[in-house]
Amino acid sequence: MTLPDGPLIAAPWLVAHRAEVIVLDASVGRVDRPGGATAFVSGRDVFTAEHIPGAHLADLFGAFSDPDAPFAFTRPHIAALEREARRLGIRNDSDVVVYDRLGGAYAARIWVLFRVCGFDRVRVLNGGLAAWVHAGGIVETGPEVSASPGDFTARPAPSIFVSTEEVVELIASGDTSRSPLVCGLRKVQFTAEGSNDPRLGHIPGSLNLPYADLLDGMGRLDFARLNSALEDLQLGPELGRQITPVLYCGGGINAAGLALALAATGRPSFRIYDDSMNGWTADPSRPVHRGQER
């Protein structure tokens, strides 16, 4: 078996090759908070309720985030990623497929983290669990089954992450043409229309490329939508090739989705502002633009 080229795979391929790959479920749970707000929590309960047979939970509220960081979803240390990959049974020659239940951005986050480890044998299931079921795949219930420990060895690649200080310097330079700031939040969050929430809005100089707008009606990445959106933003074919965008969102998840979308269309060059708006707005002295202004 040979993994398909590119970071995405289609559900029929996974149905045919399920027994030959390690499958990771990167789903998260959603709970309602007082006042109608929605919060995201570990996906362990939704995993137990339903998952692809033999899958293991890639918990973004657990080992796939830094528990000591001030912001959710902050990338963990390389050594922690290596330990978790081994616990999940991943070997250096393993082929891995990741999926989620919410548009693929959480699965893309796992894909990004493995890239940081220098491991390129990871693919994301386009359309997630819904696509698997639509293609005739069955599901199972119950807790995660322990895997035989793997021998995965992280080989750190050049960092694709940028810090708040680097973003500050980028803005101060007055020229983002070689490293445009691209925000993956929904338009209503980017513009903060009708809201006084200080966490909403965007970093000055940013362009808005909402990750959710790149999905079709079945939650799959739609390359035609991506190309159309890039044209609307006047981001030419050099983006992701000669020009390296800095991608961000609220907390690094939709930014990973944008990175996946760019890589899937032959645009492999990108960087991610890991703290995103969580980190940017932590200091009220940093400027935040609202509306459509850049």
Averaged over successive runs of 10 residues, the pLDDT of the chain (294 residues) comes to: 92 97 95 74 95 97 93 93 98 98 96 96 98 98 95 92 95 87 95 83 96 96 95 91 95 97 96 96 94 76
Residues 170 and 274 in one domain: yes
d(CA 28, CA 59): 8
CATH of residue 29's domain is 3.40.250.10
0.85 cut: is pTM over it?
yes
Residues 111 and 172 in one domain: no
Residues 180 and 239 in one domain: yes
User: Per the domain annotation, does 212 fall within a domain?
Assistant: yes
User: Per the domain annotation, does 169 fall within a domain?
Assistant: yes
Residues 123 and 222 in one domain: no
DSSP letter for each residue of 24-51:
EE--EEEEEPGGG-EEEEETHHHHHHSB
Residues 166 and 266 in one domain: yes
User: Per the domain annotation, does 271 fall within a domain?
Assistant: yes
10 Å Cβ neighbour count for 64?
A: 23
User: Per the domain annotation, does 294 fall within a domain?
Assistant: no
pLDDT of 198 reads: 76
CB 240 within 8 A of CB 272: no
pLDDT of 194 reads: 78
Using DSSP's 3-state secondary structure scheme, residue 68 falls into coil
User: Per the domain annotation, does 140 fall within a domain?
Assistant: no
In single-letter form, the type of residue at position 217 comes to G
pLDDT of 236 reads: 85
Residues 126 and 27 in one domain: yes
Residues 111 and 20 in one domain: yes
Domain that holds residue 46: 8-134
CB 276 within 8 A of CB 249: yes
User: Per the domain annotation, does 154 fall within a domain?
Assistant: no
pLDDT of 36 reads: 62
User: Per the domain annotation, does 22 fall within a domain?
Assistant: yes
Residues 221 and 183 in one domain: yes
Residues 48 and 101 in one domain: yes
Residues 169 and 249 in one domain: yes
pLDDT in tens, 123-166: 999 999 999 999 999 999 999 999 999 999 999 888 899 999 99
Question: Among candidates 287, 252, 250, which has minimal Cα distance to 271?
Answer: 252
User: Per the domain annotation, does 153 fall within a domain?
Assistant: no
Work out how many domains the chain is built from and give that number. 2
Residues 17 and 117 in one domain: yes
